[in-house]
Structures are given as C-alpha cells and as structure tokens.
Amino acid sequence: MTTADLARPHTEAEKWQRLAPAAMIHFAVQFIVQFIKQGVQGLLPLGAVFLTAGENRWFIISLAGASIALLLLVGAILSYLKFRYRLSGDMFLIQKGVFKRKRLSLSYDRIQNVAFKQPIYFRPFNLVVLGIESAGSSSEEVSLGGIPRALAEEIRTSVFEKRAANTSLASTSNADDEPQATSTEAEDIIRQPIGELVRYGLSNNNIWVFASLAAAAFAQIEWDDYVLLAGLKDWLKHIPDDGPAFAILFGVGSFLAIVTLLLGLSALGAIVTYYNYHLTFTDGRFHRSKGLFERQETSLPKAKVQSLVINQSWPARLLKRYHLVMRQVGFQSNAGQPSAANNSKFLVPSVTGAFTQQFSRRLYPDFNWSVTDLRPINWRFTRKIVLYIMLPIAAIPTTAISLAVSPVGVFILLIPLLLTPLVMLRRARYGYASNGTHGIVRSGFIGHKLTVFPFYKVQTVELVQTPGQRKHGLASLKVKLAGFGVELPYIPLADAEAWRDQILYRIENHKGKWM
C-alpha cells in the first residue's frame, strides 16, 4: 500500500486503513508504560492481599495476575480494532478509542516534524512507529504504531513535498532560509562509534541522575536487617591499631567504587540511547538515527534551528570533547508558548573541537565565533550575588540560631565568604560577542556553555537597569528566543543598547520565514 492508495477516493468501507496486527503488541506496551508512569500505587491493594491472605495468598496473586494479563490482552485487541487512519488531500485523519471515540484531523501545514521509532518487538516485522509533531501540541499529536517502513517513508516524503509546495512562494532573505536543492543523496555528517558514546556517558550530567536515584533507593533500605552488613561491622571492630588509617582507606575505596559504578551506568545508558548514532543532511534537513532497543529516526529543517548550544562540562574538558545541541521550535509549554525543552533538542554527542567549528560554519557561515574575543561582564556582578543575595539569606538562620541556641551561629555568616571564589569563577565564565547579525553568549561554572544564535530569530529583547547599575553605567540584557532565553548581566550600557538596537533592526528587516 502506498500514500496514493490511501488518498485515492474509494467507497466508504474502504477509506479507513488498519495498522498491522503486530500493533497489538505496541498497544499492550503502551498500557504498561502508562501504568508505570502513573505510579505503582495500584499495586498496594495487591500487596495488602498478599500479606493478609494467609495460605491462599499465592492463589489469589496468581488469579489477579491472570486477570490483569487478560484485561491487557483484551484492551490491546480492542485498541487495534478501533484504530483507523488515512490521508485525504492535505489532511491526516485518525479515528481511535474503545469506549470514547476520538477523531483527529491534522493538516499538513501544521506538521512540524515526522519521526520514526522502531522498538525491538517491531524489527522482525519491519514495522515502525510513525510519530507526527504538530505546532501547538504538547506531545506527538499523531502516532501510528505498527505500519510498514516503506509506507512510513512514503508518508513522510508526501508530507514534506506538500509542505514545500505550500511554502514555495515564500520570500527568503537570509542564508538560513535559502531554498535547498532537491537531492536524493544524503550528505553524511557524522557517525559515532561506541567509544565516543562512552565518552559522552562519562562527561554528561546523567551521573548525578543515577546518584540521586541510588541515594533514594538506599535510603529506603533497612540496613540493620542484612547479615552481610552486620558481618562487616564485626570485621571492622577487629581491625589492627592503625584502624583510623585503614578506615579512611576503606571509605575512599568505597567512594571510588560507587563513582565507578555510576560512571559505568551513565556510559551504558549513553550506549543504549545513542547506539549507532548517524547524522546526515539532505533537502535542507538534518536527519538523525539512533538507539539500541528502540531505533529512532528524526529530522530537523535547518531553517527551524533557533540556536546552536555548545556544551563542555569539566569531564568533557578533560576528554577534549563537546556536546552540541541544535535548539528548535518545539512543542508548546503549559503556558502556551513555543518550547525548546528536552523534546525539541537535537543533540550531537561527543565531538571534537574541529568538528564543532566545521558544524557551526554549516549553520552560520557568516559568523566565525571561534576567533571572536568575548567580552567579560562587570565585577560588580560578584558583589551583588555575595552581599545582596547570599549574605541576607545566611543572616536569617544566623539570627535564629544565635538567639535560640548559641552565639556560634554567627559562623554561618562565613558561608558567603567561603563561596565568594565560586561566584567569581561563575562571573569569569560569562562572556559575549556579536558581529552585528549573530550573537554568542558564554556561561557556566567549571565547564561552560556557548549559545550562538542569529539576531533575526529573537522574539523579545529587554534592557533592565537597577539603580546601582544606572549609577555605574551598567545594564542587564534579556534575550528571548523561541522557548528559551539568554541573559547578559552587568554589561556596559553601551553594549546592551548596541545589542538591543542590532536585534530590533535585524528583526524588522528580515522578511523570510524562520519557523
């Protein structure tokens, strides 16, 4: 079956098409995932039965498990039978729902992206999950779980061709929006081997996620009930006279073992998520495929890239690697504004400095940020954070403890003084530069983040001056792009006004489409 067959007029009985029978597996998996996301509180009554049912507990648990499996099977079959889809002209039509029927109509001009996912259970059947992201939704608005790959590729091609035909008369006046020549051959940009994925896992922030999860899990364990831990305590009691040194060595070794385990989990997670990472470019779009258990294929039009974010954490600095993120106009947030959150990030993990410069020139050929000198922000930023924010916060517990417990609480006031070098390091990481058409902002702490963006894609720009800033000729500039923003605190007023005027000029004189 092809897209032409789907769109061709037929009798009423032949208009709507079903998914492949294997889609029942997908619906069952969706039910399980949704149950897990909503919490396992539903299992508490089953646990109460297990504890109070006496000798019949296993029979009751088996009966409950069989009932749940039966309901899951029936629900998957009914969801499959009630799901229909078809293409009609410039509309994507879907009917779904078992007890509550729902009909969805999505026009091509609202479609932002078409993505493929191939879970491991679909691979033997060469089926995929076709996801369609539309403007104004908080998630994938259309998801066809279980259609042949060839049909999914034809649907994607048809959607992109009709969108291109609808926008072919739009004028363009920027290199980012210039029409791309149609090509059947994809330009290979990068393939990431497992070694680079390991580097990404070791240098991203996922280790802190694993650490927090592990800490929460360990906090729920009653360690006194474990014989192994009791034996360890007895063993530590019989250590020789140099026990303190041994205890310190044992503690350091345990800490290093835990950190090694967390790093290993982070690296393993990176491999599973980004396995066989491949990035190509064709017909004005970036195409990315990745994933071990669930193969994902997504695309991003170059014209929709709002900014390029170049991240380098301190582990990445040691490994001499960068992580690139192309921010795009994504789903809407709860506030109704375009979002560039996690779902709309297009990540290129663990690349070298040479690749970073080459890739940035692909996006912004008229802005070579790598040879641009970044200007620092004013030192009064440190004074503001320490004296007017940290010190008042520390004074509250200091006063309470000094009055209620002991005057030693005054030592809390030393905390802002001890943290001052960290604030100074934070200020030193700030930097900014512009060539009149593009801007670059650097921020960070030990590592750093560079955000490169064209001025004509800025949505709002705000210049703020506090009385103290006005006294010293300083200002803070807040630049808002689609779904995110950057801030330049405590920069010279002349620089803030120059950025504001250049941004407003580029916005007013840009006539092409960029969303």
Distance between CA atoms of residues 337 and 331, nearest Å: 8
The answer to whether 403 touches 419, Cβ cutoff 8 Å, is: no
pLDDT in the model for residue 154: 85
Of 483 and 102, more confident: 102
pLDDT surpasses 90 at 488: yes
Structure tokens at 110: 């609202």
Distance between CA atoms of residues 494 and 437, nearest Å: 17
Range of lowest pLDDT (27-31, 96-100, 410-414):
410-414
Residue with tokens 């491999």: 271
Half-sphere exposure of 195 (CA within 13 A, CB side): 2
pLDDT in the model for residue 173: 42
pLDDT in the model for residue 462: 94
The mean pLDDT of 118-123, rounded to a whole number, is 89
pLDDT in the model for residue 180: 45
Global pTM exceeds 0.95: no
Query: Comparing C-alpha atoms, which of 139, 140, 142, 145 is closest to residue 27?
Result: 145
pLDDT in the model for residue 216: 57
Structure tokens at 295: 């193969």
The answer to whether 515 touches 406, Cβ cutoff 8 Å, is: no
The model's pLDDT over 192-240, given as tens digits with 9 standing for 90+, comes to 999 999 999 988 876 666 666 666 555 555 545 554 555 555 655 555 5
Query: Comparing C-alpha atoms, which of 83, 128, 123 is closest to residue 103?
Result: 83
The model's pLDDT over 100-117, given as tens digits with 9 standing for 90+, comes to 888 888 877 777 778 888
pLDDT in the model for residue 208: 66
Structure tokens at 90: 């410039």
User: Interior CA angle at 223 toward 54 and 217, to 5°?
Assistant: 85
Query: Comparing C-alpha atoms, which of 2, 6, 5 is closest to residue 85?
Result: 6
* Residue 341 banded pLDDT, cuts 50, 70, 90: very low
Of 317 and 90, more confident: 317
The mean pLDDT of 296-309, rounded to a whole number, is 88
pLDDT in the model for residue 10: 45
Query: Comparing C-alpha atoms, which of 421, 428, 397 is closest to residue 410?
Result: 397
Please report which residue ranges of 122-193 form alpha helices under DSSP H. Answer: 149-166
From residue 308, give the alpha-carbon distance in Å to each of 155, 328, 439, 441, 443: 29, 9, 11, 11, 14
